[in-house]
Amino acid sequence: MKILLIALLAFCSSCSALDSDLKSAISYGEIKGLNKYTPEVDKQLFIRLFNAPIYQDNCFKETHGVCQYKYFLSVSTFDEYPETNIYLLKTLGEIDKIEWLPTSDVDTAKLKLAINSYTKAALSNNNKLVNTKSIISIVVTPVEINESLTNMPN
């Protein structure tokens, strides 16, 4: 019984952490509608990208600023009664390029996101930060998300 109670408390605390991050993304983060990117690709889903700023003491010298962003994707079908979902992306940093990839799968989106490990402001303020450029490949539906990360050579 004690193990079940501990597991329930751990589950509830992880849910509240996601809820807190999502609240900060909606409250003072940025929201980007992704359907405007790559206009030649037919969009089967309505997708928005939310970011929540992450402040850390080691990024900026003698000042404060956004070190990285945590990202959420909201996904919705275009149906009369749309299926919706929101996903937390695994990778932190600053996305600087968004590209849709063609797919023939129903209610599916394929995205390629270029991301830096730190914000431009953090990198310009602190030359000791080591930036890693990566590509996040995403396949998303209202039911699931698959995310893979490829680090780019510096």
State how far the Cα of 119 lies from the Cα of 22, in Å rounded to an integer: 20
Which of 104, 100, 123 minimizes the C-alpha distance to 112? 100
* Strands 109-116 vs 45-55: parallel, antiparallel or unpaired: unpaired
What is the tens place of the pLDDT at every residue in 95-147?
A: 999 999 999 999 999 999 999 999 999 999 999 999 999 999 999 999 999 99
Using the predicted structure, report yes or no on whether residue 149 has a pLDDT greater than 60: yes
**What confidence score (pLDDT) does residue 18 get?**
57
Please tell me the predicted confidence (pLDDT) of residue 106.
Answer: 94
Task: Check residue 22 and give its pLDDT.
Answer: 76
State pLDDT tens for residues 67-99.
Answer: 999 999 999 999 999 999 999 999 999 999 999
Summarize pLDDT for 5-53 with one digit per residue, the tens.
344 344 444 444 557 777 777 777 788 999 999 999 999 999 999 999 9
Helix (H, G, I), strand (E, B) or coil at 12: helix
3 pLDDT exceeds 80?
no
Number of domains making up the chain:
1
**Domain range for residue 52?**
2-151
Residue 1 has a pLDDT of 45
